[in-house]
Structure 1
Amino acid sequence: MNQHDKQTRLLFLDRDGIINEDKGYVGNKSAFCFIPGIFDVVGAFVEHGFLPVVVTNQSGIGRGFYTESDFHALTHWMREAFAEKGMPFIPVYYCPHHPTEAKPPYKKQCNCRKPSPGMLLSAANDLGADLSKSVLLGDSWRDIQAGAAAGLASQCYVSKQPQPTPALSNASVFQADTVAQVVTLVPQIIAATKTG
């Protein structure tokens, strides 16, 4: 962001695979299991002044596996779980589209489906954020690509898979095998936002 008055730092979180176990198209509470360590990780960033924001591809909506109303109900329940742990209100941005597999009107090319950065850019605009001081946690390389495209200087790839080559330019990408392991990396991830 070029506006110097925009100083909010965001912690972008993918949902499936970071907040909850990725069981494939999770659309209701019965299939939603929080990943061990996620509350500790989010809490550590919140203590450093970051606002958590969810940015999630949800083509399950477009594919007809669950509705937007189902998604919103699940999101409300998820937010309440974070609130019970003392977390701030968590904005959620989602993309219901898919370019080939979704049903109309969701079947389309869009700029919000990661690896495109649309959701991150919208959140930064809505929340008055400084993207260069914000970070992202994702378990898919397309999450990391979206973060780089949005101008994030620091991210964490939560995966046991090696990072694809070539490396992303102008971005520090840390890596942890599990969400719980991210806690030990928080100071380094934050420090990288200051150095770019």
Structure 2
Amino acid sequence: MSSALEDQARRPAVFFDRDGVLNMDIGYLFESHKLVWIDGAREAVKAVNDMGYFAFVVTNQSGVARGLYEEAHVQQLHDWMADELGKIGAHIDAFEYCPFHPEGTVERYRQISHRRKPAPGMINDLLKRFPVDAERSFLVGDQPTDIAAARAAGLKGYLFSGPNLETFVRPLLLVG
């Protein structure tokens, strides 16, 4: 049984899928000049921050396994996104990505991974690293695999189909 102090230290989290939720899904995005934010995406992250929630990104990046770009490109894009969010006083607490795919062309990335959604590995890893109140946490994704990953990790999952992420997320923050 956890103590009241431990419960107090725990915070809810919002787990965001990246492509199709935070930014337009153009397929195998790795260049910042091609990133187009979804309407309200930056403001949604700021709302999550302002409510005291953790903000996480969990994204499959099979383009690495397919040889289309390197892990360094994913990290550079995430750094750029973090800088852009910082301009409005928003932040992501952790970016997690899975570079693996069982049909990859790059041998070291050609594998089944417990971190690739719909598996819950990225979410579970974050739940271990951060003091997250899972009961009050949720994931926002745009694909059934995102929702499946959330459920497998014991979280609520919400399917986002547009048009404005802030409008979608704000009422969910009040439900928790």
TM-score by length of 2: 0.89
Once residues 46 and 147 of structure 2 are traced to their aligned partners in structure 1, the CA distance between those partners, rounded to angstroms, is: 21
Match of 1:93 among 82, 91, 96: 96
**Bigger shift: residues 108-117 or 30-39:** 30-39
State the partner residue of 1:190. 173
1:19 is aligned to 2:22: yes
CA-based RMSD: 1.9
Count, aligned residues: 172
Match of 1:59 among 57, 62, 71: 62
Q: Deviations over 1:99-156 (max 9, x none)?
A: 123421111111000000000010111112122211111011100110111111x332
Q: Is the 8 A contact 1:41 1:179 kept in 2?
A: no
State the partner residue of 1:173. none
Once residues 130 and 42 of structure 1 are traced to their aligned partners in structure 2, the CA distance between those partners, rounded to angstroms, is: 18
State the partner residue of 2:158. 156
1:144 is aligned to 2:127: no
What letter matches 1:132 in structure 2?
Answer: E
State the partner residue of 1:84. 87
Once residues 111 and 84 of structure 1 are traced to their aligned partners in structure 2, the CA distance between those partners, rounded to angstroms, is: 34
Inter-CA distance 24–42: structure 2 relative to 1 (3 Å threshold): same
Once residues 59 and 50 of structure 2 are traced to their aligned partners in structure 1, the CA distance between those partners, rounded to angstroms, is: 23
Unpaired segments ≥5 residues, structure 2: none
**Higher relative contact order structure (alpha carbons within 8 Å, sequence separation ≥ 6):** 2
Once residues 81 and 110 of structure 2 are traced to their aligned partners in structure 1, the CA distance between those partners, rounded to angstroms, is: 27
Match of 1:74 among 72, 77, 80: 77
What letter matches 2:170 in structure 1?
Answer: V
What letter matches 1:64 in structure 2?
Answer: G
Q: Is the 8 A contact 2:41 2:165 kept in 1?
A: no
**Bigger shift: residues 107-116 or 125-134:** 125-134
Once residues 138 and 29 of structure 1 are traced to their aligned partners in structure 2, the CA distance between those partners, rounded to angstroms, is: 21
Q: Is the 8 A contact 2:118 2:146 kept in 1?
A: yes
- Match of 2:63, SS state, is helix
Match of 2:39 among 36, 41, 51: 36
Once residues 151 and 179 of structure 1 are traced to their aligned partners in structure 2, the CA distance between those partners, rounded to angstroms, is: 27
- Match of 1:105, SS state, is helix
1:180 is aligned to 2:164: yes
* Divergent runs of 4+, >6 A: none
- Same amino acid, percent of matched pairs: 32
Once residues 124 and 74 of structure 2 are traced to their aligned partners in structure 1, the CA distance between those partners, rounded to angstroms, is: 22
Q: Is the 8 A contact 2:160 2:168 kept in 1?
A: no
- Match of 1:12, SS state, is strand
What letter matches 1:144 in structure 2?
Answer: I
